[in-house]
Structure 1
Amino acid sequence: MENNSTLKVASLGSGSKGNATLVSNGEVIVMVDCGFTVKEVLKRLPRLNIEPDQIDGILVTHEHQDHISGVGALSRRFSIPVWSTRGSLLSGKCGNLPELNLIEGFQPFSIGSLDVTPLSVPHDAREPCQFLFTQDELRLAILTDLGCFTPKIVEQLTPCHGILLECNHDEEMLWNGSYPERLKQRVAGRMGHMSNRQAIELLQLMDRDSLQLVIATHLSEQNNCPKLVSTLLAETLSWPVERLKIAGQDSGFGWQEIGLNSSIRAESA
């Protein structure tokens, strides 16, 4: 019997000026982070043919401004439930929320028919996490804002059909760039952001047989180059460059779909 399970993912924007990602299994739509104002969210959502009242939940990865600044306002205006670790909430940046669901001990949970597994990650925040979404046997990982990957993370990503992967900086561009020395150390540190080299190393350690979709996210506008990232990832995966996707700061990316049915391919909706 043919399995037609699918997962879709899209982005309103990705980078140091704001992040918001949408994931849907066809029945449930969730937003991962909201680092934009409500006004900006309402401006960008129509590109994805989504109304705010269709969003069933907001998942918070951590409390840095480019990920959390719009969470509280969007949640209150449209009565959207929020899922967050206790550590991220301690920042107080969300304010009062109409419905709060605590992520405890990185234990899996469900939002309607969508299953979610929080992933503990090394990043300089109180209790940061990323997320793995599953639909039947289909698995989509969002893995951004971490300074490095761990053996546990590699284990959790096996198998994986789609991944949004942080490719924040090119190490040479970072160290030769204009950032103050302290900021360079923070970005390149174990709790900072993943470089192109680290992203490639993670992909090399993963079981890549099931991968249908790889999207590079959270690229530094000063210390990276989309063309360079696409070329490096394509070489690592032995994919044509055109198959790689880049999440832009202003444009994000349109709906991409993965599925267990072999006839389904990742395409922009």
Structure 2
Amino acid sequence: MATQVFVDKAKHIMKVCVLGSGSKGNCTYVEYGSTRILIDAGFSGKEIERRLAVIDRSAVGLSAIFVTHEHNDHIAGVGVLSRRYGVPVFINNGTYQAAHRKLGKLTMLQSFTTGEVVTVNELQVHPFSVVHDAADPVGFVIRTDNFCVGYCTDTGQVTRLINYHLRSCSTLILEANHDPQMLRDGPYPVVLKQRIQSKNGHLANGEAVRFASSLAQGVLQHLVLAHISETNNHPDLVLSEAEKAFVGCRNVEVHLARQDQPGPLLSVKQKEE
């Protein structure tokens, strides 16, 4: 019997899909075997159901929703999905205290401590601190014995801690929020521009791809650049920065997450033996 379990696990493939990312909503789907989780649920419950259907998945049977921070574009659909499908919500105390009025009643609240690993069936989820203007914002590394995915958006800088946690990920979802020149010339008020480009704001294209390119000689295989501003950025600018940063590097596939539709359902590279 033990041998049979091992064989079954060996056949499991971790898959990940950014269902949508940007200032109007963020949600990412991760599956491994029968375990299926969402990282954030920043669209309406109905819209998340629709996007899951696009990739031939369903909210029925979701194992958990993990929340990065309390901003509405990350939590708008958390409460309704929890209530409708009986999904446990994993959230640290600082974020919950800042978000509980918007979340409403949850089917099951599971509090985690930033920095401590949470186990959900076959998955180990490690929340780590990021730098953003929120109560206790986090990124996540999702691991099994054979796979590792990193999720890091809504951070104004790449810290040593972020670097440490993401270096072992073969698939990485990382924000490339704005082009500095577009932000400077754009319509936002000065205060908001200062917030976005501050250390507690969002990563610019160049900062994101330079960091990601530093991981290219490791295990990184899939890079999804996310949370791309529709006002202060353009996909062509993001791709141009990525092409320059990854010149000569053929082992990393670069994808751009979109606000209006899901990206591809990616199969995560297995760890080297």
Aligned to 1:77: 84
| 1:117-128 equivalent positions in 2, closer than 5 A | 117-128=126-137
Aligned to 2:108: 99
**Inter-CA distance 225–111: structure 2 relative to 1 (3 Å threshold):** same
Residues 1:37 and 2:47 aligned together: no
Aligned to 1:140: 149
Residues 163 and 215, structure 1, Cα contact 8 Å, conserved in 2: yes
Aligned to 2:4: none
SS at match of 2:265: strand
SS at match of 1:54: coil
SS at match of 1:193: coil
The offset of 1:39, in angstroms, is 1.7
SS at match of 1:58: strand
The offset of 1:70, in angstroms, is 1.1
Q: Counterparts of 2:167 and 2:38 in 1: how far apart (Å)?
A: 24
Q: Counterparts of 2:114 and 2:229 in 1: how far apart (Å)?
A: 31
Aligned to 1:220: 229
* 2:162 counterpart letter in structure 1: I
Aligned structure 1 segments of 4 or more residues deviating by more than 4 angstroms: 2-5
* 2:195 counterpart letter in structure 1: R
Q: In the TM superposition, what whole-angstrom CA distance separates every residue of 1:86-108 from its partner, at most 9, and x where no partner exists?
A: 01111222122111111114201
Q: What is the number of equivalent residue pairs in this alignment? A: 261
Aligned to 1:246: 256
Structure 1 length-normalised TM: 0.91
Q: Counterparts of 1:43 and 1:153 in 2: how far apart (Å)?
A: 32
Aligned to 1:265: none
Q: Counterparts of 1:173 and 1:115 in 2: how far apart (Å)?
A: 39
Residues 1:256 and 2:266 aligned together: yes
Residue 50 of structure 1, aligned match among 52, 57, 76: 57
Q: Structure 1 stretches of 5 or more lacking a match?
A: 263-269
Q: Counterparts of 1:8 and 1:44 in 2: how far apart (Å)?
A: 16
SS at match of 1:127: coil
**Inter-CA distance 156–76: structure 2 relative to 1 (3 Å threshold):** same
Cα root mean square deviation, aligned: 2.0
**Inter-CA distance 51–204: structure 2 relative to 1 (3 Å threshold):** closer
The offset of 1:197, in angstroms, is 1.5
Aligned to 2:170: 161
Structure 2 length-normalised TM: 0.90
SS at match of 2:22: coil
* 2:78 counterpart letter in structure 1: V
